[in-house]
């Protein structure tokens, strides 16, 4: 396949990468770089390797089976199992949507703040009004667009390109700018939550699971198995590169820096753009942060809506009527959780990181579903799943269980402390 044809054929994994690289991933990469330094890069590399394997596995399952994944699970294990998988994925998507909604409000803070940094007394009401308007617009577009997949694929390719250019330029500025004064020794205890959130957002089995649906939307068949593998490697590698750029930029600006901020607000995290954009950094960062949240609104919700529709036997395509209805429900649920977060008056960064980290609990169920379908005896010949992909799935499920246990312990400690 020629290079031009390869680039043109890339699509499903780019959509997954663009959705995964949302506000939670940007926040987690920034916090990990600032608190863990270079130790965060090996963790990111492992998560990306597992994600590539899981996306490639899901893409292969999408073309080797005649039916959709949930229909296959229903036929083999009963409709109840398929529904359970659909509900789990819908729940994960709802948590992502909540962080997307929180990001929209946070991204607008610099535009409304006074020179002293104070926000209007009715700031919560303003945020809620913005969220309602944004979600209403997305839901209206959901029902008005006929071909969701083609429009989404084009939009995600443009978004990824813009993100690469913006963060790469900032990294260069941080590398060649004046180095900040740093502490000689480590101080304080590192927070594990951003690290777990980074793994949870990067190794997104929910996004990988949807890859099987995207390749079917693309019209790929068994003849496109090699194309699917290339798509998975390129698309998810781009996700890893962007995350690494954000992480390295943050560690160059914040890691072990004297009097470094605790990155509890958008303005503090936006300081990582100061090497390139100067005093206007907070506007650039928060604007891009908000745009990233809005861009993933529909596609992220479509993952939960489409799979839940398929699990209930009501259609497995994004354009199907019930898939659109459940997508709208995911948008509404995420907005509701976001509004609760705003009314709680807590810092939005910890809330978004918590929402991303909680998704780790749903990963084992989805990973097991993929592993089960990959190990069926009837998959022989050209339909046989490579051993490396099955091993990757097994390792990913094991990691997910460990992370879920670790996250459970952290939550118990916070509740009891």
The domain of 396 spans 3-416
String of b and e for 156-188 (b: at least 16 CB within 10 Å)? bbebbeebeebbeebbebbeeeeebeeeeeeee
Per-residue pLDDT of the chain (417 residues; tens, 9 = 90+): 455 555 555 667 778 887 777 777 888 888 899 889 899 999 999 999 999 999 999 999 999 998 999 999 999 999 999 999 998 888 888 777 887 787 777 777 777 777 666 778 888 898 899 889 989 988 988 888 777 777 777 777 777 777 778 778 878 877 877 767 776 555 556 777 788 888 878 888 888 898 999 888 888 888 888 877 888 888 889 889 989 998 998 888 888 776 666 666 666 677 666 666 676 666 777 766 766 676 677 788 888 999 999 999 999 888 889 999 999 999 998 888 888 878 876 655 565 555 555 566 677 888 889 999 999 998 988 889 999 999 988 888 888 778 777 766 766 666 565
- Which residues, in sequence order, are bridge partners of residue 257? 182
Question: CA 352, 340, 272: angle at the middle one, nearest 5?
Answer: 30
Q: How many domains does the chain have?
A: 1
DSSP percent split of the chain into helix, strand, coil, nearest 5: 80, 0, 20
String of b and e for 73-100 (b: at least 16 CB within 10 Å)? bbeeeeeebbbbbbbbbbbbbbbbbbbb
Distance CA 352, CA 330 (A): 17
Residue 288 belongs to domain with CATH number: 1.20.1730.10
Distance CA 57, CA 302 (A): 21
299 closest CA partner among 339, 327, 320? 327
Locate 12 and state its tokens: 């499903």
Distance CA 113, CA 40 (A): 33
Tell me the C-alpha to C-alpha distance, in Å, between residue 249 and each of 59, 166, 240, 281. 33, 12, 14, 14
105 closest CA partner among 124, 88, 82? 124
Distance CA 13, CA 229 (A): 10
399 closest CA partner among 371, 364, 355, 366? 364
Distance CA 356, CA 25 (A): 8
């Amino acid at each position: 396949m020629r290079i031009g044809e390869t680039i043109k054929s890339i699509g499903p994994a780019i959509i997954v990468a663009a959705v995964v690289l949302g506000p939670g991933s940007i926040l987690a990469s920034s916090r990990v770089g600032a608190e863990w330094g270079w130790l965060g890069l090996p963790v990111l590399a492992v998560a990306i390797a597992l994600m590539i394997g899981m996306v490639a596995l899901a893409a292969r399952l999408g073309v080797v089976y005649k039916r959709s994944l949930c229909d296959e699970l229903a036929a083999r294990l009963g409709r109840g199992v398929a529904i359970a998988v659909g509900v789990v994925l819908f729940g994960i998507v709802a948590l992502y949507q909540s962080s997307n909604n929180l990001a929209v409000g946070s991204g607008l803070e610099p535009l409304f703040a006074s020179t002293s940094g104070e926000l209007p007394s009715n700031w919560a009401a303003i945020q809620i009004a913005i969220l309602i308007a944004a979600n209403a617009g997305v839901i209206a577009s959901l029902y008005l667009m006929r071909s969701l997949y083609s429009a989404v694929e084009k939009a995600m390719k443009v978004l990824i390109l813009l993100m690469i250019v913006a963060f790469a330029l900032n990294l260069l500025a941080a590398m060649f700018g004046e180095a900040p004064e740093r502490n000689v020794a480590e101080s304080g205890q590192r927070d594990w939550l951003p690290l777990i959130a980074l793994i949870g957002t990067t190794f997104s089995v929910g996004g990988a699971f949807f890859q099987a649906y995207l390749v079917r939307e693309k019209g790929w068949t068994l003849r496109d198995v090699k194309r699917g593998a290339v798509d998975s490697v390129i698309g998810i590698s781009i996700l890893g590169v962007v995350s690494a750029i954000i992480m390295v930029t943050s560690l160059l600006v914040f890691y072990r820096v004297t009097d470094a901020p605790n990155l509890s607000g958008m303005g503090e995290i936006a300081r990582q753009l100061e090497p390139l954009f100067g005093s206007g950094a907070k506007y650039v960062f928060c604007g891009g942060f908000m745009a990233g949240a809005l861009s993933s609104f529909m596609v992220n919700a479509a993952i939960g809506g489409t799979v839940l529709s398929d699990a209930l036997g009501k259609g497995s395509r994004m354009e199907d009527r019930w898939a659109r209805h459940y997508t709208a429900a995911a948008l509404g649920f995420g907005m509701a959780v976001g509004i609760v977060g705003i009314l709680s008056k807590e810092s939005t960064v910890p809330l978004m990181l918590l929402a991303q980290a909680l998704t780790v609990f749903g990963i084992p169920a989805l990973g097991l579903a993929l592993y089960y379908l990959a190990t069926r005896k009837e998959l022989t010949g050209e339909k046989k799943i490579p051993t490396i992909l099955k091993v990757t799935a097994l390792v990913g499920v094991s990691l997910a269980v460990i992370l879920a246990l670790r996250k459970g312990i952290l939550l118990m400690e916070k509740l009891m402390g």
